[in-house]
Amino acid sequence: MANNALSNGRIQQPTVSQRLRDDRTKKVADLPSIEIRNWLLHRHYTRREYRICKILIEEELTKSNGHNEYANYLKGLILRKEGKVQDSLDSFQAAYKVNSSNVNNVKQIAKSLLMMGSHKRAVEAYLEADKTTVLPDWDIHHSLGECYVKLNQLQEAKKQFKRSIELTKNELPYLALARVHMMEDQIVEAKNVYIAALRHVSINNKNKYIFLELGLLYLRIGDIQRAFQQFGTTLAYASNCSKALLPVAYIMQKHCEYDVALSKYKIAAQLIPESSALWNNVGMCFYGKQKFVAAISCLKRAHYLNPLAFLPVYNLGIAFLTTGQPASAAIYLCAAVNAESKNPMPYLLLGLALKRLDDLEGSVKALDKAHSLLPQDPLILINYAVILDATGKVTEASEVLSALNDIMAIIDVDLQIAQMAKKLSIKLQQQKLSTN
């Protein structure tokens, strides 16, 4: 009897075996021949088997005469991972030619342009992607914000980051917006963004950087306790986070807990052994423990890793002055002056090193430059007055000492500076009396 025929007033339903037999007779829908092996490309790519994946991609592109959209797309991703950004751009453009309606092709073209430094073209591509997409995409607005930051259009960047925040709970637009506020020295606004991120973003070990950057913000404004708490939270999620280990160790170092700081630096050294900042801090820990040979060795390594950095050469100058090696100190302090010509402290120390080398003329020039950069610093004033007295310039020394006395009448200065000023004042008065 045929299906759906009436039997005794009832509709005859097909049996299970009949349904299975009918399903077998139905033909499976044919996949387009160009895309029939896309599943295999995807499997090798997700397994990070890039060498095999590239071979298969080339085979598919040859068969399809370059018209396999997915093969071109994956080829672009792999080439970008290999650092061949221009080649990856060509592959994404080939995929776009095959299917111009796919927004992912446009986004990847824009991302490659951004990586190549073509920020204006990247903005145009992202705006096109925004018009193409059906639903609002937070990643497009976040990437647009990054482009505007590169173009130094910070107000437009903030608008894009805020729009991205409205569309997602991902931490990236929060961090980017806070960084823009930090670039504009808007500390309160940046802190509010970080706190909002902690409320709205689900925290795990992948987005621990919210705590880290908030800790760096607190450290910048001098709130050491809160900074330490944020770094501790970061390390709770990722105990080997070098970006949190360094500031934690630095805070301990500032509190003269050198052994504890060194234990943290030891862990960080296994993660970032070529960090100049790490070896600079290790060197100053040894300097604090008065282990000067170890300190100089670590500071020289920091200088080797970053020859243009200011702190390693400046600290080497301090270490050599402390160990009675003024010639070596003068060499490194000259490098410090070249690294930061607007900083008065290397000029001050260079003047002291040259005085020990009996180069009084050079010493006066160095301290005169330090005084011009920071004319009301008590440490600079007392040393400048001493050097001027040593060169026989009694009148100038008296003027500098008078300025120092005016400052000491208003603020409290170091006891050693006050005692030295008193002794020098008595000496200058005696010299004036003797000349009269």
Residue 26 has pLDDT above 70, yes or no: no
pLDDT of residue 60: 92
- Based on the fold, state whether residues 298 and 379 are members of the same structural domain: no
Query: pLDDT higher for 48 or 27?
Result: 48
- Based on the fold, state whether residues 302 and 393 are members of the same structural domain: no
Predicted confidence band of residue 15 (pLDDT cuts 50, 70, 90): low
Q: How far apart are CA 318 and CA 211, in angstroms?
A: 34
Predicted confidence band of residue 30 (pLDDT cuts 50, 70, 90): low
Task: Look at the chain and count its residues.
Answer: 436
Domain membership of residue 83 as a residue range? 37-134
- Based on the fold, state whether residues 392 and 369 are members of the same structural domain: no
Percentage of the chain surpassing pLDDT 70? 91
User: 28-32, 95-99, 275-279, 396-400: which range is least confident on average?
Assistant: 28-32
Predicted confidence band of residue 14 (pLDDT cuts 50, 70, 90): low
pLDDT of residue 418: 86
In this structure, are strands 6-7 and 10-11 parallel, antiparallel, or unpaired? antiparallel
- Based on the fold, state whether residues 278 and 299 are members of the same structural domain: yes
pLDDT of residue 405: 86
Which residues neighbour 219 within 8 Å (Cβ) at sequence distance 6 or greater?
A: 227, 247, 251
Q: How far apart are CA 430 and CA 436, in angstroms?
A: 10
Residue 316 has pLDDT above 50, yes or no: yes
Query: pLDDT higher for 285 or 413?
Result: 285
pLDDT of residue 104: 94
Q: How many CA atoms lie within 13 A of 351 on its CB side?
A: 27
Residue 10 has pLDDT above 50, yes or no: no
In a domain, 69, yes or no: yes
In a domain, 323, yes or no: yes
Candidates 203, 227, 205, 223; CA nearest to 215 is 227
Residue 238 has pLDDT above 50, yes or no: yes
- Based on the fold, state whether residues 332 and 379 are members of the same structural domain: no
Q: pLDDT tens digits, residue range 382-417?
A: 999 989 888 888 888 888 888 888 888 888 888 888
* Structural tokens at position 298: 């670590």
In this prediction, residues 16-42 reach a mean pLDDT of 65
What CATH number has the domain bearing residue 111? 1.25.40.10
pLDDT of residue 154: 94
In this prediction, residues 206-214 reach a mean pLDDT of 84
**Mean per-residue pLDDT over the chain, rounded:** 89
- Based on the fold, state whether residues 367 and 309 are members of the same structural domain: yes
Candidates 43, 108, 42; CA nearest to 77 is 108
pLDDT of residue 421: 85
- Based on the fold, state whether residues 357 and 386 are members of the same structural domain: no
- Based on the fold, state whether residues 278 and 369 are members of the same structural domain: yes
Residue 174 has pLDDT above 70, yes or no: yes
Percentage of the chain surpassing pLDDT 90? 70
Total-model pTM: 0.78
In a domain, 18, yes or no: no
In a domain, 407, yes or no: yes
- Based on the fold, state whether residues 360 and 283 are members of the same structural domain: yes
In a domain, 48, yes or no: yes
Q: Structural domain tally of the chain? A: 3
